[in-house]
């Protein structure tokens, strides 16, 4: 009876968005679950994995990554080709003939408009640092910031009278300043030239990120709103909602019903539309983690991207038992260098093999607010690095990884997963050492926790985060005598509290956006949009700056290793807990086009169902490895 109730609830969650209409649409070609509902479809404002997944379906940058190559090499996307100057600082991209989902052509100006918008202090984009690699990007940001400050001052001097005409003039001057200061320009509608501040070996990887995606300027400009009191520009988010949302990727958004579902339809104007095997994709919102697994098992969905159910350790163990039962065959297939997905495809049918565990390019850590004062105005003891080191060394990370997570995630000492980047060696970090932690806390003026504030641990309700918080809270109370509280909030409230620095400590994670150490380290640079910790270290920043100016690749990596050492052995604005594995559910004998690469990017427009689509020539999995070759970040398990 209970099983029937669960199945009913699952189907209601998955199909509930459809019952409100007299004639619900037919089942989509592909239905997948995306952890939770979208936060935004504005590419310059995205910073969450579930948003990125959809962004790569509906949008396309100049380049993309080959998720079916071991080196994750860049591939042509909206740009069909490019040239790089001998000094590595100037890139010239040549655009394809491709169309927005309304049939209008994608032109170079659509990219430049998006990048100008992303550089504005008005927008507050988390990934503004990516765009500041373009020469003049930082200068433009400062120019705009100074002009906004002067505008606000003039309004105050006038007695607070709004001045719409002055705001319009400032906005026109801003567009002119972008063209003058930022060294990214379009010689014609199908050519973009970008000059970088300095040679950036990972720029092609970075320029494929969603922050660099174009916007349909003719559409989005209609949603600009100028504030006559501040001079700032905002965008009515109506342009991100269908049917107003205009897309340049393989799919467009047919509808988006908040906390219900998203439905995508193939974009007929996309340059490579004929190669897309799917006509429709459905993304229901199923926030209950148990229901996501049941949705797959009952056939309601084809793919679960993030398995977070509390019993996921058990289903991972069942997969391991299945492998043991077929150990000889598994060993033989592995000896051929086959990808894990292809290995599963060749093993006998069994529902246990539909669980897939891949090494991840991400780390779970605990955020520490480093601000001098807390949000309520009290002095913040967490601003003392000795306190932060003490908190780090008092956490039994092994108990979290082995006792709570139980899916084979290694304990983390560093921020960057060891072995994930060629020729880069992460520091060891700080281990579990309660005695030394107590001494450090006493040195900071809190012997035995006396006089210390009650620490709050902020978490979201998904993924067992509360259990991790409970384990950390017990460690801090037992080892350091620190009292704690745990606050559980919904994702959007949680995110806003991080952005406004209205927290003490909080659960966090980071997945690399491109194949270089800076994808992890830059989020701790002073003033970075992703620096939720409000951490500011001249030593750390200087090491990053020296590395950015170092031409010798090995010396550059050594400087970045030193920077990470400052981060995880001295200053501890964050406490690494464990390195992620990617756990998903799909039938390898039904779906093609799923990559097991540790970088974790799934280009889901490459997915096909065996025997049902037009993409039978697409890669099934990563190609066999040559002797001595390994996947980036691949574990030995």
The set of residues, in sequence order, having a beta carbon less than 8 Å from that of 561 and lying 6+ positions away, is: 424, 425, 426, 427, 517
C-alpha torsion 567→568→571→572, nearest 10: 110
Q: Which two tokens stand for residue 518?
A: 């800076």
Q: Is the pLDDT of residue 294 over 60?
A: yes
Higher pLDDT, 439 or 462: 439
* Distance from C-alpha of 534 to C-alpha of 499, rounded to nearest angstrom: 10
Quick one: 434 exposed, middle or buried, by C-beta within 10 A (0-12, 13-18, 19+)? middle
- The boundaries of every CATH 3.90.76.10 domain in the chain are 60-248
* Distance from C-alpha of 397 to C-alpha of 9, rounded to nearest angstrom: 36
Average pLDDT over residues 389-393: 98
The set of residues, in sequence order, having a beta carbon less than 8 Å from that of 428 and lying 6+ positions away, is: 413, 414, 569
pLDDT digits (tens, 9 = 90+) for 317-335: 999 999 999 999 999 999 9
Closest CA to 434 of 397, 469, 396, 399: 396
pLDDT band at 378 (very low <50, low <70, confident <90, very high): very high
DSSP string, 82-125: EEE-TTS-EEEEEE---B-TTSPBP-HHHHHHHHHHHH-TTT--
Average pLDDT over residues 179-200: 97
pLDDT digits (tens, 9 = 90+) for 617-633: 455 555 665 543 433 33
Q: Is the pLDDT of residue 258 over 50?
A: yes
**pLDDT value for 23:** 65
Task: Decide which of 3.90.76.10, 3.40.50.2300, 3.30.479.10, 2.40.30.20 is the CATH code for 60-248.
Answer: 3.90.76.10
Domain 359-581 has CATH 3.40.50.720: no
The set of residues, in sequence order, having a beta carbon less than 8 Å from that of 439 and lying 6+ positions away, is: none
Quick one: 317 exposed, middle or buried, by C-beta within 10 A (0-12, 13-18, 19+)? middle
pLDDT band at 600 (very low <50, low <70, confident <90, very high): low
Q: What one-character DSSP code corresponds to residue 184?
A: E
Q: Is the pLDDT of residue 546 over 70?
A: yes
pLDDT > 70 fraction of the chain, expressed in percent and rounded: 92
**pLDDT value for 20:** 41
- The boundaries of every CATH 3.10.105.10 domain in the chain are 359-581
Average pLDDT over residues 476-491: 96
Q: Are 597 and 632 in contact (CB under 8 A)?
A: yes
| Alpha helices (H) along 459-514 | 465-480, 491-499
Average pLDDT over residues 530-556: 94
Q: Is the pLDDT of residue 274 over 60?
A: yes
Looking up tokens 């105005």 gives 377
**Which residues are paired to 194 by β-bridges?**
91, 184
Q: Is the pLDDT of residue 371 over 70?
A: yes
What pTM, to 2 d.p., does this model score? 0.81
Q: Is the pLDDT of residue 418 over 70?
A: yes
Higher pLDDT, 14 or 460: 460
């Amino acid at each position: 009876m209970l099983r029937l109730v669960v199945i009913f609830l699952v189907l209601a969650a998955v199909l509930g968005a459809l019952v409100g209409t007299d004639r619900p649409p037919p089942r989509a070609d592909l239905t997948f679950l995306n952890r939770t509902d979208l936060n935004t479809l504005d590419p310059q404002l995205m910073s969450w994995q579930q948003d990125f997944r959809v962004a790569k379906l509906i949008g396309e940058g100049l380049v993309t990554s080959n998720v079916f190559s071991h080196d994750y090499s860049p591939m042509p996307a909206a740009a069909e080709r490019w040239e790089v100057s001998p000094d590595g600082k100037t890139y010239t991209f040549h655009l394809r003939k491709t169309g927005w989902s309304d049939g209008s052509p994608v032109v170079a100006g659509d990219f430049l408009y998006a990048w100008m918008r992303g550089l504005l202090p008005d927008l507050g984009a988390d990934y503004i640092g990516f765009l500041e690699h373009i020469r003049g990007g930082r200068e433009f940001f400062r120019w705009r910031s100074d002009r906004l400050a002067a505008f606000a001052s003039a309004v105050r001097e006038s007695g607070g009278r709004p001045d719409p005409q002055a705001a319009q003039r400032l906005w026109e001057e801003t567009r002119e300043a972008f063209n003058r200061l930022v060294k990214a320009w379009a010689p014609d509608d199908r050519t973009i030239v970008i000059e970088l501040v300095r040679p950036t070996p990972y720029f092609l990887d970075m320029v494929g990120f969603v922050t660099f995606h174009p916007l349909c300027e003719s559409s989005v400009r209609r949603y600009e709103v100028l504030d006559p009191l501040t001079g700032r520009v905002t965008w009515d988010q109506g342009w991100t909602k269908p049917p107003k949302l205009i897309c340049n990727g393989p799919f467009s958004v047919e509808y988006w019903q908040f906390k219900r579902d998203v439905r995508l339809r193939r974009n007929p104007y996309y340059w490579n539309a004929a190669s897309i095997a799917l006509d429709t994709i459905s993304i229901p919102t199923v926030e209950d983690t148990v229901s996501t697994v049941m949705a797959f098992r009952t056939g309601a969905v084809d793919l679960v991207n993030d398995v977070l159910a509390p019993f996921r350790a058990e289903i991972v163990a069942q997969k391991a038992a299945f492998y043991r039962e077929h150990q000889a065959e598994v060993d033989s297939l592995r000896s051929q260098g086959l990808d894990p997905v292809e290995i599963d495809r060749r093993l006998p049918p069994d529902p246990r093999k539909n669980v897939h565990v891949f090494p991840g390019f991400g780390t779970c850590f605990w955020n520490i607010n480093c601000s001098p004062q807390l949000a309520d105005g009290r002095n913040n003891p967490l601003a003392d690095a000795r306190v932060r080191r003490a908190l780090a060394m008092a956490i039994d990370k092994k108990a979290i990884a082995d006792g709570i997570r139980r899916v084979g995630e290694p304990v983390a000492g560093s921020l960057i997963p060891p072995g994930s980047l060629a020729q880069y060696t992460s520091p060891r970090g700080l281990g579990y050492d309660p005695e030394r932690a107590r001494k450090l806390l006493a040195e900071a003026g809190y012997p035995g926790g006396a006089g210390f504030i009650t620490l709050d641990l902020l978490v979201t309700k998904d993924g067992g985060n509360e259990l991790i918080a409970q384990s950390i809270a017990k460690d801090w109370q037992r080892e350091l005598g620190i009292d704690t509280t745990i606050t559980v909030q919904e994702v959007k409230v949680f995110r806003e509290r991080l952005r406004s620095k209205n927290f003490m400590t909080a659960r966090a994670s980071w997945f690399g956006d491109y194949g270089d150490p800076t994808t992890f380290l830059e989020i701790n640079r002073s003033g970075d949009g992703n620096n939720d910790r409000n951490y500011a270290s001249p030593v750390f920043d200087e090491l990053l700056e020296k590395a950015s100016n170092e031409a010798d690749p090995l010396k550059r990596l050594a400087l970045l290793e030193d920077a990470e050492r400052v981060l995880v052995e001295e200053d501890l604005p964050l406490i690494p807990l464990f390195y992620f594995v990617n756990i998903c559910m799909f039938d390898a004998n039904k779906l093609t086009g799923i990559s097991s690469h540790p970088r974790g990017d799934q280009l889901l427009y490459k997915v096909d169902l065996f025997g049902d689509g037009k993409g039978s020539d697409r890669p099934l999995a990563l190609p066999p490895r040559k002797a001595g070759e390994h996947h980036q970040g691949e574990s030995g398990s």
